[in-house]
């Protein structure tokens, strides 16, 4: 089920239209082989979340996604008791006839993503995506430690729920704050960088095949030059794909300065960056790209 070599993992991910860089391929392979969580950090839009989605599709596993946000607590992330149901049980049983063991049962437990991920699944252990962990409070990281190292959740009223087979865990972070070392230590770590020129061309041809080879060349080379320019927010792969789609939508066969200017908002999301690039700078980069392609 799980690919036996790094190369075969890369191939099957590519068959699902996800192009793995070599570093990511090895990290992912090891995480799968050794049942360890994989911690992916990197700029927004480099395809961190996509790894988990593609992996779930590839292995035909269920994808359980936990989107982190500030204030995320155990009730929303792991489990909650069904109080309404418990109330009804109390009411119907009458005074003094119920023990707490009768109330805190499996039936009264509402499962949230983390607990769900530990449950047996007919298709095999699910893929658990803990997305944008940097948005959650630090307290939540500590709660994850038990799950990520022992694959179990302790519920005080009920007992410990342990996974028969550990889920495949992908944790992502945009690095808006540092995640504690204790959590990183339990994971394999990979910093997801922007892809190389060839990889990105490959990605674009898979994700936006309607853009012809010349347009793709122009788009990718233009974006690569932008990334070298020390912008406040360099465009990610997602932006590259969006831009290609936008250009196709506008019936462009090749990027000209005027179109580049009018669609700059697809690539760059900060006004400072846009005003810096728009106009002469964009025309200059386009000219460079053109000579690069021809030469």
Partner 1 sequence: MTDTVPHITSPFSKPANDNSRMANPPAGAGAPPSGVPSADGTLRGKKLPENVTHFVRILRRSGLQVGPATLIDCVAAVRQIDLGNRSEFYHALACCIVKRPEDRLVFDQAFDIFWRNPKTLERMRDLMLPTMRRETEEDEPEDPMLRRVDEAVRPPDDDYNDNQSGEEIKFDSVLTASQTERYQEMDFQMMSALEVSEAEKAIDRLVLPIPQRPSRRAIPKHGSGQMSLKRTLRRMARQAGLPIPVFEQQQTKPRPVVVICDISGSMERYSRMLLRFTHALTQRRGRVHSFLFGTQLTHISHEMRDRDPDAAMQAISSYVKDWSGGTRITSAIADFNMNWSRRVLGQGAVVLLITDGLDRDPDGALAHEMDRLRKSCHRLIWLNPLLRFDGFEPKSEGVQKILPHVDSFVPIHSLASIGQLADILSASMNSGWRDKSMAGWMDRLYDIQHEASMLNTDISQTGAPRPGSLNPEGSA
Give the alpha-carbon dihedral of 246, 227, 43, 170, to 10 degrees: 80
Least distance (Å) between residue 33 CB and partner 1:
5
Of residues 8 and 154, the one with the C-beta less far from partner 1: 8
Judging by DSSP bridges, how do beta strands 127-131 and 109-111 pair with one another?
unpaired
Closest C-alpha to 244, from 228, 227, 221, 226: 221
State the binding string over 152-191 for partner 1 (x if CB under 8 A, else -).
Answer: --------------x--------xxxx--x--xx--xxxx
Rounded-to-integer distance, Cα 68 and Cα 112, Å: 13
**Alpha-carbon span 222 to 252, nearest angstrom:** 15
Contacts of 197 (CB under 8 A, 6+ apart): 220, 221, 224
Contact pick of 1, 60, 100, 251 for partner 1 (by CB under 8 A):
100
Interface residue with partner 1 among 20, 41, 64, 218 (CB under 8 A) is 41
Tell whether the torsion through CA atoms of 224, 226, 227 and 229 is positive or negative. Answer: positive
Stretch that binds partner 1, among 94-102, 117-125, 219-227, 246-254 (CB under 8 A): 94-102
Nearer to partner 1, 13 or 286 (CB): 13
- Which residues would be at the binding site for partner 1 (CB under 8 A)? 5-6, 22-23, 25-27, 29-30, 33-36, 41, 70-71, 73, 75, 81, 83-84, 86-87, 90-91, 95-96, 98, 100, 103, 134, 137, 139, 151, 166, 175-178, 181, 184-185, 188-191, 230, 232, 272
């Amino acid at each position: 089920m799980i690919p036996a070599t790094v190369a075969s993992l890369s191939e099957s991910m590519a068959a699902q239209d996800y192009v793995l860089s070599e570093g990511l391929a090895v990290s992912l392979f090891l995480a799968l082989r050794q049942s360890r969580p994989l911690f992916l950090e990197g700029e927004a839009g480099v395809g961190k979340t996509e790894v988990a989605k593609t992996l779930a599709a590839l292995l035909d596993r269920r994808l359980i996604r936990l989107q982190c946000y500030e204030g995320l607590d155990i009730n929303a992330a792991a489990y909650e008791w069904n109080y309404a149901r418990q109330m009804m049980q109390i009411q119907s049983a009458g005074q003094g006839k119920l023990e707490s063991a009768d109330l805190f049962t499996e039936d009264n437990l509402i499962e949230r993503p983390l607990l769900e991920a530990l449950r047996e699944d007919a298709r095999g252990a699910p893929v658990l995506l803990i997305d944008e962990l940097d948005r959650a409070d630090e307290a939540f990281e500590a709660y994850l430690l038990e799950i990520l190292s022992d694959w179990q959740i302790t519920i005080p009223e009920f007992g410990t729920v342990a996974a028969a087979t550990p889920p495949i865990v992908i944790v992502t972070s945009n690095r808006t704050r540092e995640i504690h070392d204790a959590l990183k230590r339990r994971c394999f770590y990979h910093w997801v960088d922007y892809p190389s020129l060839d990889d990105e061309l490959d990605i674009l041809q898979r994700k936006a095949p309607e853009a012809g080879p010349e347009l793709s060349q122009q788009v990718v080379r233009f974006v690569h030059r932008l990334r070298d320019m020390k912008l406040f927010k360099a465009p990610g792969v997602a932006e590259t794909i969006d831009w290609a789609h936008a250009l196709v939508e506008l019936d462009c066969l090749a990027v000209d300065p005027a179109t580049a200017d009018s669609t700059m908002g697809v690539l760059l999301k900060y006004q400072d960056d846009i005003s810096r690039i728009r106009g002469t700078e964009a025309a200059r980069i386009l000219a460079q790209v053109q000579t690069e392609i021809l030469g």
